[in-house]
């Protein structure tokens, strides 16, 4: 039986998707000489679940109270608000010695104290499975569907909206992995569909968003070669094809594109102090319409963890990718992101987390560059295996420059959450 530790979502993101479980990994590719604070098991605080034959169900409900200083992410005339959120969910997992099957259903209801147009409901359902063909070979697949709301702080969301933009997202994927002694090869194929709903400005004018509807196909191949039990070199190539549903207009021509992201790097574990993955390479997203050209440049992928003590985990992530632009006259932007985290187990049932992040968004064709800073701190108190409480503070700042700049803003959010699980 797989126990569930109480986890509390500081940003109200109750619709995150579960990761597909992994089969036992050969020692040459294991990186487990230390356990991070978030990975460390706490059996005395983990849910037992409901036993249904060879399955376990884990029901949970979360209640949040938050206060935000700039609800509409505006540069001037900032408006604050207090929000209530209720997030029920259930996850079902198999209890098999081989293979795996999971499913989930989640919802999030948000109420605004001052603005009825900020009330909304989001939800998601999904399933995933893994077939252990043999000890060195696994095949997996999954699918999910979600009805979501785009945050007002997102770079692609229009300004001065009466209500947040709604959209539906559907996704399916397949995976495969096989180990040949020192060589591990793996692959993944994804298809994702986005269906955006049109919005309305505060002055009543319509905001067309259906031109953002698209289907994205993505295929990834990776090969890892173990030099030693603690070090492996790898090569990874990802290809994507983005197809938009609508033909486009004179103002916003169709933004169909295809791209590749190629990386070479090393996956390592240095004693029991440091582990991670560092990769560099090249990425390019080429658009079918010549007006957009292409977005290309250095590709990076960094995932590092440092363990100064067993109670403290310091992390760092960095990557570059090409995002889809919702801006008139632009099809995409280069996103360069870096984040530092620190997780501290103050006591067995008290965990403190901190993070600082930066993202640069450099748009093609139009003259716009966004610099986004974020920071947050969160403390979680596990009362028992049924109840947990958290308190958090988050700060976000966006500065936009260039002839086609969008509004600057900064906002702070204070949140207290209670979660109950079985």
Structural domains of the chain ordered from first start: 4-421 (2.40.160)
Residue 190 to residue 170: CA distance in whole angstroms: 11
Region 299-303 average pLDDT? 95
pLDDT of 328 reads 77
Percent of the chain with pLDDT over 90: 72
pLDDT tier for residue 210 given thresholds of 50, 70 and 90: confident
In this predicted structure, what is the pLDDT of residue 160?
Answer: 80
Judged against a pLDDT cut of 90, whether residue 22 lies above it is answered with: no
- Please give the average per-residue pLDDT across 72-92, as a whole number: 94
Asked if residue 227 has pLDDT above 60, the reply is yes
What is the predicted pLDDT for the residue at 108?
A: 97
| Mean pLDDT to the nearest integer, 176-184 | 94
Alpha-carbon distance values, 246 to 243, 252, 291, 330, 388 (Å): 9, 11, 17, 16, 46
> Residue 26: pLDDT above 60?
no
Question: What is the pLDDT averaged over residues 127-138?
Answer: 94
* pLDDT recorded at residue 5: 66
Sign for the pseudo-dihedral over CA of 271, 273, 277, 278: negative
Distance between CA 214 and CA 247 in Å, rounded? 11
**Region 317-326 average pLDDT:** 90
Tell me the CA distances in angstroms from 324 to 213, 216, 292, one per residue in order: 11, 11, 12
Residue 165 has pLDDT above 50, yes or no: yes
Residue 208 has pLDDT above 80, yes or no: yes
Residue with the larger pLDDT of the pair 402 and 248 = 402
Q: What are phi and psi of 95, to 5 degrees?
A: -120, 55
Percent of the chain beyond pLDDT 70?
93
Does the pLDDT value for residue 29 go beyond 70?
A: yes
Average pLDDT over residues 200-221: 90
Mean pLDDT of 335-341: 97
Asked whether the predicted pLDDT for residue 25 surpasses 90, the reply is: no
What per-residue confidence (pLDDT) applies to 292? 87
Q: How large is the average pLDDT for residues 246-259?
A: 81
Instruction: Report the pLDDT value the prediction gives residue 236, as an integer from 0 to 100.
Output: 97
Residue 4 has a pLDDT of: 65
pLDDT higher than 60, residue 142: yes
Residue 331, pLDDT score: 84
Q: Is the dihedral of CA 35, 339, 409, 203 positive or negative?
A: negative
Residue 9 has pLDDT above 70, yes or no: no
| Tokens, residue 157 | 């969301």
Confidence band (pLDDT; 50, 70, 90) for 290? Answer: confident
Q: Across the chain, how many H-helices and E-strands are there?
A: 0, 23
Query: In angstroms, what CA-CA distances link 266 with 152, 223, 269, 324?
Result: 38, 11, 10, 29
For residues 82 and 415, the answer to whether their CB atoms sit within 8 Å is no
Average pLDDT over residues 267-285: 93
The CA–CA distances, whole Å, from 3 to 37, 93, 94, 385, 420 equal 16, 10, 12, 10, 15
Question: What is the residue-averaged pLDDT of the chain?
Answer: 90
- Separation in Å, CA 376 to CA 190, 354, 373, 391: 32, 6, 11, 11
Q: Which residue has the tokens 């697949």?
A: 141
Q: Where are the beta strands (DSSP E) in 135-271?
A: 137-149, 166-180, 183-196, 199-200, 206-207, 214-228, 231-244, 257-270
Q: How confident is the model at residue 15 (pLDDT cuts 50, 70, 90)?
A: very low
Among residues 235, 245, 160, the alpha carbon closest in space to that of 194 is found at 245
| 289 vs 378 pLDDT, higher one | 378
Q: Is the pLDDT of residue 20 over 70?
A: no
Residue 27, pLDDT score: 65
The pLDDT of residue 249 is above 50? yes
Question: How confident is the model over 232-244, as a mean pLDDT?
Answer: 96
pLDDT band at 13 (very low <50, low <70, confident <90, very high): very low
Q: Exposure pattern of 149-177 as b/e (b: 16+ CB <10 Å)?
A: bbebbebbbbeebebbbbbebebebebbb
Question: pTM of the full predicted structure?
Answer: 0.87
Give the distance, in angstroms, between the CA of residue 82 and the centroid of all CA atoms in the same chain: 25
């Amino acid at each position: 039986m797989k126990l569930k530790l109480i986890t509390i979502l500081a940003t109200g993101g109750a619709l995150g998707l579960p990761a597909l479980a992994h089969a036992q990994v050969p020692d040459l590719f294991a990186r487990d000489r230390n356990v991070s604070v978030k990975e460390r098991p706490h059996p005395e605080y983990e849910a037992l679940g409901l036993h249904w034959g060879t399955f376990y169900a884990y029901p949970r409900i979360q209640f949040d109270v938050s206060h935000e200083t700039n609800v509409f992410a505006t540069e001037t005339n900032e408006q604050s608000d207090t929000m209530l959120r209720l997030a029920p969910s259930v996850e079902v997992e198999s209890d098999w010695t081989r293979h795996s099957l999971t499913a989930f259903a989640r919802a999030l209801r948000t109420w605004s104290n001052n603005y009825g147009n900020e009330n909304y409901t989001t939800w998601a359902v999904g399933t995933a499975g893994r077939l252990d063909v043999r000890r060195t070979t696994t095949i997996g697949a999954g699918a999910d569907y979600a009805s979501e709301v785009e945050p007002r702080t997102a770079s692609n969301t229009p300004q001065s909206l009466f209500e947040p933009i709604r959209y539906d997202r559907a996704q399916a994927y397949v995976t495969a992995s096989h180990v040949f002694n020192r060589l591990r090869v793996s692959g993944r194929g994804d298809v994702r569909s986005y269906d955006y709903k049109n919005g309305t400005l505060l002055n009543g004018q319509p905001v067309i968003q259906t031109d953002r509807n698209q289907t994205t196909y993505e295929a990834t191949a990776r090969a890892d070669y173990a030099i030693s039990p603690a070090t492996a070199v790898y090569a990874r190539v990802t290809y994507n094809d983005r197809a938009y549903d609508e033909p486009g207009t004179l103002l916003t021509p169709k933004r169909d594109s295809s791209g590749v992201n190629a990386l070479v790097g090393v996956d390592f574990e240095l004693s029991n102090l440091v582990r991670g993955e560092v990769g560099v390479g090249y990425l390019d997203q080429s658009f079918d319409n010549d007006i957009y050209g292409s977005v290309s440049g250095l590709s990076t992928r960094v995932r590092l963890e440092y363990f100064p003590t067993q109670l403290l985990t310091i992390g760092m992530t960095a990557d570059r990718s090409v995002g889809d632009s919702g801006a008139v006259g632009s099809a995409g932007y280069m996103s360069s992101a870096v984040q530092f985290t620190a997780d501290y187990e103050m006591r067995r049932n008290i965990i403190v987390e901190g993070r600082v992040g930066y993202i640069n968004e450099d748009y093609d064709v139009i003259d716009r560059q966004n610099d986004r800073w974020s920071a947050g701190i969160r403390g979680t108190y596990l009362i028992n295996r049924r109840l947990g409480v958290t308190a958090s503070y988050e700060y976000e700042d966006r500065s936009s420059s260039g002839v086609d700049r969008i509004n600057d803003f900064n906002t702070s959010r204070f949140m207290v959450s209670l979660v109950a699980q079985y």
